[in-house]
Structure 1
Amino acid sequence: MPILAFLRDNAPWLTAGVLLTFLSSFGQTFFISIFAGHIREAFELSHGQWGGIYTLGTTASALVMVWAGGLTDHFRVRVLAPIILVLLGFACLSMALNPVWWGLILVIFALRFTGQGMTSHIAVVAMSRWFIATRGKALSVATLGFAVGEALLPLGFVALMAIYDWRLLWGAAALIAILGIPLILLLLRQERTPQSWAQSDQSLGMEGRHWTRRQTLTHFLFWFMIPALLGPAAFVTAFFFHQVHFAEIKAVEHVELVAMFPIYTVVSILAMMASGWALDRFGTPRLIPFMQIPMIAAFLIFAVAQTPLSVLAGFLFMGLTTGFNTTLPNAFWAEFYGTGRLGSIKAMAAAVMVFGSAIGPGITGLGIDLGLGLETQYMIVAIYFVFTTIMMMIGVSRARPLLAFSA
């Protein structure tokens, strides 16, 4: 189907996906971290203490996601999404009103669970269910909301912080989240009938069947993918979490660093759209083992960069993997494990990624406090992504013959 016809015929459902992924920004690290300096100052926290609070709150949200993510197997998007957006609005308001440092643990839990966790989870599970033959296109379009959020919100809110108090801006974020509810209800007045609920072999996974969560947990491929799931979540999160400190050690103004985000976003959008097209043409198994190779280059560059231009080069490579990572893993679960219990299976993967985003800032923050500089840490991170790439190559090559049963 031509892309324009695809967009026209599926506009309400794709727009709902874009809106949900955009609103998830308020629980994403790239947004929370722009307030890091103000939060640490207001509550008198070190890098390690702030990272530890973030780790505790995010880890708790990962644990709850294992259960809550399965709700997408039982409730339609137009029912579940408004409830989550109400909770996201309250989480943003809590950040604006919280008076004590220990309250940050609860606030971070609420933001990460409702924003990064459930809002984005609902969107990608819906796209994977609603579309089969065009799953790659649907995911690449719907997840544009992530890219739009990354491009506009940090730059806009950093600029606004020069005028308004940072707590007031969290109140504005709460209002935006709540305003998303009537839009979602309007777009999903007639919710798309999931193609994957039909008795079609195309929606089956390995061995020609729908896998349960228990079966997935005992299958070797899931464990070969764990390092790759953890990596971007942990270390891209850590990069954005410590962006203020990174700007300081690179002698770059924070606003100058944030001004690079839209370029990074454009690259990630292009990579996301290209991977969506390639996914529908070539399938996940041929593509996913190579998606984190650009991340190796990105963190090597961040480690040695001495000029704003070289930092920008790192963003370009990180943008490639960010774009690939938006579509390929989400399609991977549907293609290898089927769509019958996709919500429960994807919830496990989401919990792993949320846990990764929990430990990344905590580990790197502790490293900074102990004297292990970010530049040295980023060299180690690059080596880690070499490891994840090798693991994916081995795991996917072993599992790929099992897909023949569902062909």
Structure 2
Amino acid sequence: MINHKKLGNWPFHPKKWPFFYGWMIIISGTIGISMSIPGQTMGVSTFTDSLIEVMSMSRSQLSFAYMCGTILSASMLTWVGKKYDIHGARPVALIATVGLGMVLVYLSQVNHIQSFFGADGNSVMLNFVIMCFGFFALRFSGQGALTLVSRNMMMKWFEKRRGFAMGFSNVVTSLTFASAPVFFEHLIQRFDWNGAWLVLAVITGLGFPLYIIFFFRDDPENSGLKPDGGFVESKKRAKKNLFPVVKDFTLTEAQKTVGFWVFSMMLAMQALYWTGVTFNIVSLFEHSGYDRETAVSIFLPSSMIAIAVTLSVSSLSDHIKLKNLLYVMGGSACLALLGFIYLEPLDRLFQLVIFGYEMRLGLHSIILGNGVMMGLYSVILSVTWPRFFGRSHLGEISGRAITFVVVGSAVGPILFSESLAYFDSYEGAEWICLVLFAGLTIASIWANNPQEKLRVE
């Protein structure tokens, strides 16, 4: 029989590392999430126009294949989480990254696969099946399995300083996600679209597995270590663990709590709203009388605000109730949506030039609301599940929550596109999102940590 404990401490024992190995886990998990970018929406979007051309598909047909593949992949994430709980981070991450490399090779050859089966521009169904399978495998291995394992692995190595530690990871991943499309575009210009995917396949499918074997590890207890590395504050600053875990919940038990559903749905709504907006950002602004340059200009300042919020709130999250973050996140999303709905009237109502910079009420409501919402999203996603439900079934519980997030990211672009098709405006989708965010913000009042009641008992 395989001794998983001994295997987990091979090829070197984390206890012999010159500093607390949890910080190496933060670095490794961050790299793991970054390696999933080819399977993330911003990674796929760089290749969209090339796929439309070579597969002779319309943008709507390709988008529908992407949505179907994404939803299919989401349906399997709870199963992946369960396997993670049983087998640990390293074997699941290895399978996920090798699988990601293989599907990238598959996608680089879809035009040849199309020809092999005799598909052409008139073979709509066959082309759809080819791309739907590719998107399913890509989203499952990249956005799903590899991201889930990398994030959960990091959460297990910290308790008292989980928010503080994850803050570094969240900031770095925000920067890598923001810069990835530029890197992918450079690869496409140099190697063409299929050559770019082959380069990424070598990195994720051959190079990164070696890193996983050497540096990924499971629970710190398996290596004779404790979460936080036995961190002890000075007497002047010493504080007890404000949110001790009394019970490890199963997925079934977690789903019986209000907190699980409110937090999951708020995260899913963020994914739905954000993908819907980003897929249609230029068109959204054009319908309010603004040009492409104005539309694209919101991303950089929103990202800067998001990074600032992540850095400041990550440490704060170790000391406050997480439902307070839900209030702010929901309110920020509502602010951004009101900015979109009333963009032109609000900008006419208030414009101010400060040191040569023009302030507009509608535009800057969008920038501020999106920035705060995105910054809080990464914090809430990182620290909620182990604090609320413990670590024993973390993979399965977070897998179910991420399932809703992935489904939301698939539905968002369709919701906004259909709103434009039926109402010749995006206001229908925007009002739906506003009502749902407002409802979830109110419901956050009852989204308490289930451990609180157990501590009292």
TM-score, with structure 2 as normaliser: 0.75
| Number of the residue aligned with 1:83 | 95
CA distance in 2, matches of 1:395, 1:378: 25
Match of 2:303 in 1: 265
With over 3 angstroms needed to count, the CA separation of the structure-2 counterparts of 1:372 and 1:69, relative to structure 1, is farther
Structure 2 counterpart of 1:103, which letter?
I
The match for 1:102 is: 129
Q: Does 1:280 align with 2:292?
A: no
1:370 aligns with 2:408: no
- What's the offset of the Cα at 1:56? 0.9
Greater RCO (Cα-Cα under 8 Å, separation 6 or more): 1
Q: Which has the larger radius of gyration?
A: 2
2:271 and 2:417 mapped to 1: Cα distance?
15
Q: Which runs of 5+ in 1 are unaligned?
A: 1-6
Q: Comparing 213-222 with 345-354, which one deviates more in the overlay?
A: 213-222
Q: What corresponds to 1:181 in structure 2?
A: 209
Between the aligned partners of 1:390 and 1:400, the Cα distance in structure 2 is: 21
Q: Deviations over 1:88-125 (max 9, x none)?
A: 12222222221333211111111211111111111221
1:96/1:377 CA distance change after superposition, 3 Å: same
Q: Which amino acid in structure 2 is aligned with residue 154 of structure 1?
A: P
2:330 partner amino acid: Q
Amino acid at match of 2:201: A
Alpha carbons of structure 1 residues 337 and 197: separation in structure 2 relative to 1, 3 Å: farther
Query: How much has 1:262 moved relative to structure 2?
Result: 4.4
- Does residue 405 of structure 2 align to residue 393 of structure 1? no
Whole-angstrom CA distance in 2 between matches of 1:190 and 1:342:
12
Q: Alignment length, in residue pairs?
A: 395
Counterpart CA distance in 2 for 1:368 and 1:162 is 33
Deviation at 1:80, TM superposition (A): 2.2
Higher deviation after alignment, 230-239 or 174-183 = 174-183
Once the 2 structures are TM-superposed, how far is the Cα of residue 311 of structure 1 from its aligned partner? 5.3
Alignment partner, residue 379 of structure 2 = 327
C-alpha RMSD of matched pairs (Å): 3.4
The structure that is helix-richer by fraction is 1
1:112 to 120, 139, 159: 139
Structure 2 residue matching 1:280: 3-state secondary structure: coil
Scaled by the length of structure 1, the TM-score of the pair is 0.84
Contact 2:248 2:392 in 1 (8 A): yes
**Aligned-partner Cα distance in 2 for 1:91–1:121:** 18
Q: Report % sequence identity.
A: 23
TM-superposed CA distance for 1:25, in Å, is 1.6
Match of 1:125 among 143, 149, 152: 152
Which region of structure 1 is more displaced relative to structure 2, 79-88 or 304-313?
304-313
- Going from structure 1 to structure 2, the CA distance change for 1:160 and 1:253 (only over 3 Å counts) comes to farther
Q: What's the CA shift string for 1:144-178, capped at 9, x where partnerless?
A: 34302322112333465566533333233323323
Q: Which residue of 2 aligns with 1:216?
A: 254
Unaligned runs of 5+ in 2: 1-17, 112-126, 230-239, 348-357
Verify: 1:49 aligned to 2:76, yes or no.
no
5 Å matches for 1:63-82?
Answer: 63-82=75-94
Q: CA deviation at 1:375?
A: 4.8
Whole-angstrom CA distance in 2 between matches of 1:391 and 1:151: 32
Aligned to 1:300: 338
Provide the C-alpha distance between the structure 1 equivalents of 2:434 and 2:411, rounded to a whole number of angstroms.
17
Amino acid at match of 2:258: F
In 2, the alpha carbon distance for the partners of 1:69 and 1:222 equals 16
Taking the aligned partners of 2:297 and 2:181, their CA distance within structure 1 comes to 9
2-side partners of 1:286 and 1:403: how far apart? 20
